[in-house]
Structure 1
Amino acid sequence: MNTTKPSEFTAIAMGILALCFLIGMIGRFSFENFPNLVSPLSNEFGWPRGTIASIYSLGALVTGLTGPIAGILFDRLGPRNVYGIGIVSGGSGLMLAGMADSIWFFYLSISILVGFSAACCGNVTNSALASRWFREKLPLALAIIYSALGAGTLLGLSLSQIFISSFGWRQAEYLLGLCVLAILPIILFLPWRKLAAGRKSPVTALPHAEATSPIQWTMTKALRTIPFWGLSAVFCFTGSAMFSVIIQAVTYLIDVGLPPIEASVSFGITGLFIPVGMIGSGYLIRRIGLLTTAMGSYVVTFAAILFLWSFERPDQTWALYGFIFCFGLSMGSRGPMIGTIASHLFRGKNFGTIYGSISVGSGIGMASGSYFSGLLYDLTGTYDAVFLYSGISLLIGAAPFILVREMRKQP
């Protein structure tokens, strides 16, 4: 008798995907509009590029370092409370930024409050919730959820630049904060007991590692494994490579000769290709394997950097379009791979805490990339060193996929 396994994409599971996508989009929306503030803050306060970049880099570091806290809160308090805390923190941080008159005020509002919001509303908590509803289809589910990065980036950059051009940067921050806080009532009144419970009986076989391993994973046990540090290294160095470009991209396009709104929208359009890259990577992993897919994604990112490096005049549209396509296609594509590997290796009641700790590498990478990007520009006065730094970081970030056996042999 033929038996057909029921689909994991039930109505409630699809609702979980939509919810995680929305939360992830809000988290990135709150943080990824900051590149539009580089020029206004430089003009008003006269700060060097490195000082302004330190606001973003400290925020990225806060996001990474508080990832374990978000994971612990998720495991202990549940998703409703963590998401609510994140939305209040992000909305209030943006509104406070509109009143900032010193670098320390920006560190408090953007770096700490918005940075912590990105952790609470980011991939750690969303991965933990999704892993309760998906097993065999988890790579595809995470690819869909992580693609919120693109939607949040596009929306944040585009809307903030429109607000800045129309009302000034301070009023823009107030309005962005209100947009974030408007989501809070939706979060508070959802049926969280049912949503957080997870799938009562798995519809598919558990991953091989979970089915055969007797290990009850704790944070201490995970810290003693090579895969934990390998996954952290991918997050760290790949994040450093990507965010050294992200923090400079809008200003670079303006310096080349694009109008500010066109520069912001052009970079924001990269977000349209992020879902294609993430979902495409999930499909290719099943077809050609994780290692080949991962290496291909790094090649595409290298191409994006070369395209941007070649863009020296506004009429060189081929270079601009090449950067938009390749950067968007590969941006964040490693995230679902890391989330899937981590969920297979460390699944259990402490997964949120463990994955949150792995994500510390992402925060360190984002922070170092954005900070050293600004510092290198201040020291050299050109973007050449920034692009070179990004390329070297990519090489190091790709290495664990080859060197760590447990990562290399994932399906």
Structure 2
Amino acid sequence: METVTTPTPRDRFGHRAWWVAGAALLAVVVAGAFSTVPGLLTGPLHGEFGWSRGTIGLAASVNMILYGLTAPFAAALMDRFGMRRVVVVALLAIASGAGLTTVMATAWQFTLYWGLLVGLGTGSMATAFGATVAQRWFVRRRGLVTGLIASGSVFGQMVFLPALSWTVDHHGWRPSLVSLVLAACATAPLMWLVLRDHPADVGLAAYGAGRKAERPAPTEGAGRRAVSVLLASARTGPFWLTAGAFAICGASTNGIMWTHFTPAAHDHGMPATTASSLLAAIGVFNVIGTVASGWATDRSDPRRLLAAFFALRGLLLMCLPLLMSATVEPSMSAFVVAFGLLDLATVPPVIALCREFYGDDGAIVFGWVGAAHQIGAALAAYGGGAARDAFGTYAPVWMSLGALCAAAALLSLLVRRSPGRTVGRPVSRTMPGSPAEKAGRAG
């Protein structure tokens, strides 16, 4: 039920929604710093323990799968217990997993600590978290906000990756993980102080809203709701088309680039520190590309944006084997700029499609679509390492992923909008048979 309220005094530092978005961005930045660590650890772990690249890639794959599968349940848990509690617990889980990794002795421990604990923690702050913040706190600028928060994961890589790479080279891999543990522990209390679950908690309307909505009652049965939303959305074509395209997105970004780009560049004689710096540079342009994509999503058809992004990304990946060398040539610099602009640019259009088709359940649906993204990433992380062991080169992997990106472009164009729906103006709508729709009928 909505009630008309008199305007509340503006905080002299701006609407509280932007502070909440900033806190969410910080949490995502810290969580994002953990995503490229397996790429930095591949060489040191292979040298110290004698593990194969496939074995190390298995732990990264488990991490990515859990990252994806956790997201929809985390979105539902945020409805039940609030964003603050979920994010703080997630940061502590990340810190625990990374800390235990420093004292591991066997491969299964690496899979347990890094794959399970870090995967669960980072998955709780996946892009579904940003979608939840945008949906609760913003009516205007939703695309821009989702783009900003989504860019945080790669911005975290940009901030931490060069320093982590230098630490691994000069002091070993364990001190680099300890630094991440400290960062996660320092961020947790800040989240408790700044994050708020709903504008009504502080007596405000969402940014851009003329009316103040009452705080919704906590949703019981978070796990049951996440599963029921999945079952309902799985009966619709847009879900499978979007999930399929996003699975390819995960394979062609997180799965291969953040896990195998550094060792692939090292195969061509490039120092690991230099390759890590290139990944960090990709992160710089990733922020620009994702924010620009969010801006464009507010104004354009997200299907066409997705198709263009995938087609261009596929061309870049097919060209990558020709660009690898021991030094950074201008062609590689051009690749870094272009790939960075396209890397996470797919996120705002996909969030917009989920919100358009599934309304109030959109954040949870996007969590499940994000799970497909991480399954694709996990397959690429494991398959890339296995292909390198089998063929002695990553060239077939880059070519295969480029072809898959072309398929993703076609899938994106097949997603159909509802008749009469205005693209770029998200309308809250519940899906027939969804928990939110049933609640509306009951009311």
Q: TM-score, normalised by structure 2?
A: 0.82
Q: Distance in 1 between matches of 2:383 and 2:103?
A: 27
Q: Distance in 1 between matches of 2:298 and 2:388?
A: 41
Against the structure 1 CA distance between its residues 407 and 182, is the aligned structure 2 distance closer, same or farther, given a 3 Å change threshold?
farther
TM-superposition CA deviations, 1:328-387 (whole Å, max 9, x none): 111111111111211222222x44433322221112111111111111111111111111
State yes or no: 1:40 paired with 2:52: no
1:267 deviation in Å? 1.5
- Equivalence for 1:113: 117
Gaps of 5+ in 1: 1-5, 207-215
- Equivalence for 1:340: 352
Amino acid at match of 2:369: I
| Paired residues of 1:342 and 1:355 also in contact (CA < 8 A) | yes
TM-superposition CA deviations, 1:200-231 (whole Å, max 9, x none): 3673599xxxxxxxxx9961432221122222
1:150 deviation in Å? 2.1
State yes or no: 1:272 paired with 2:277: no
Against the structure 1 CA distance between its residues 183 and 305, is the aligned structure 2 distance closer, same or farther, given a 3 Å change threshold?
same
Q: Percent identity?
A: 23
Match for residue 225 of structure 1 among 224, 236, 242: 236
Q: Distance in 1 between matches of 2:65 and 2:418?
A: 25
State yes or no: 1:87 paired with 2:91: yes
Match for residue 122 of structure 1 among 101, 106, 126: 126
- Equivalence for 1:3: none
Against the structure 1 CA distance between its residues 188 and 285, is the aligned structure 2 distance closer, same or farther, given a 3 Å change threshold?
closer
Q: Distance in 2 between matches of 1:195 and 1:202?
A: 9
| Paired residues of 1:79 and 1:196 also in contact (CA < 8 A) | no
State yes or no: 1:373 paired with 2:377: no
Give the alignment of 1:274-293 within 5 angstroms: 274-285=286-297, 289-293=301-305
TM-superposition CA deviations, 1:233-261 (whole Å, max 9, x none): 12212111222233110112222222221
- Equivalence for 1:354: 365
- Equivalence for 1:251: 263
Match for residue 190 of structure 1 among 160, 176, 194: 194
1:313 deviation in Å? 2.5
Q: Distance in 2 between matches of 1:223 and 1:312?
A: 41
Q: Distance in 2 between matches of 1:315 and 1:362?
A: 32
- Equivalence for 1:139: 143
Give the alignment of 1:5-16 within 5 angstroms: 11-16=15-20
| Paired residues of 1:64 and 1:364 also in contact (CA < 8 A) | yes
| Paired residues of 1:240 and 1:369 also in contact (CA < 8 A) | yes
| Paired residues of 1:400 and 1:407 also in contact (CA < 8 A) | no
1:191 deviation in Å? 6.0
1:47 deviation in Å? 1.9
Against the structure 1 CA distance between its residues 231 and 312, is the aligned structure 2 distance closer, same or farther, given a 3 Å change threshold?
closer
Gaps of 5+ in 2: 1-7, 212-224, 425-443
Partner of 2:326: helix, strand, or coil? coil
Amino acid at match of 1:126: G
Partner of 1:405: helix, strand, or coil? coil
Amino acid at match of 1:108: L
Against the structure 1 CA distance between its residues 319 and 225, is the aligned structure 2 distance closer, same or farther, given a 3 Å change threshold?
same
Amino acid at match of 1:181: C
1:56 deviation in Å? 0.8
| Paired residues of 1:291 and 1:402 also in contact (CA < 8 A) | yes
1:271 deviation in Å? 0.1
Q: TM-score, normalised by structure 1?
A: 0.88
Amino acid at match of 2:346: R
TM-superposition CA deviations, 1:121-161 (whole Å, max 9, x none): 22112211221122342111111111112211212322221
Amino acid at match of 2:72: P
Match for residue 170 of structure 1 among 166, 174, 177: 174
Partner of 1:159: helix, strand, or coil? helix
State yes or no: 1:382 paired with 2:396: no
Q: Distance in 2 between matches of 1:74 and 1:388?
A: 40
Q: Over aligned residue pairs, what C-alpha RMSD do you find?
A: 2.8
| Paired residues of 1:377 and 1:385 also in contact (CA < 8 A) | no
Q: Distance in 2 between matches of 1:384 and 1:268?
A: 22
Q: Distance in 2 between matches of 1:353 and 1:196?
A: 21
1:18 deviation in Å? 0.9
- Equivalence for 1:31: 35
Match for residue 203 of structure 1 among 198, 208, 215: 208
Q: Distance in 1 between matches of 2:373 and 2:125?
A: 15
Against the structure 1 CA distance between its residues 407 and 393, is the aligned structure 2 distance closer, same or farther, given a 3 Å change threshold?
farther
Against the structure 1 CA distance between its residues 313 and 237, is the aligned structure 2 distance closer, same or farther, given a 3 Å change threshold?
closer
Q: Distance in 1 between matches of 2:39 and 2:397?
A: 16
Number of residue-to-residue matches in the alignment? 396
Q: Distance in 1 between matches of 2:287 and 2:366?
A: 22
Give the alignment of 1:233-248 within 5 angstroms: 233-242=244-253, 243-248=255-260
| Paired residues of 2:354 and 2:363 also in contact (CA < 8 A) | no
Structure 1 consecutive aligned stretches of length 4 or more whose deviation exceeds 4 Å: 193-199
Against the structure 1 CA distance between its residues 228 and 24, is the aligned structure 2 distance closer, same or farther, given a 3 Å change threshold?
same
Partner of 2:401: helix, strand, or coil? helix
1:45 deviation in Å? 1.7
1:112 deviation in Å? 0.7
State yes or no: 1:394 paired with 2:399: no
TM-superposition CA deviations, 1:155-212 (whole Å, max 9, x none): 2322221221232112222222122111111122336366575963673599xxxxxx
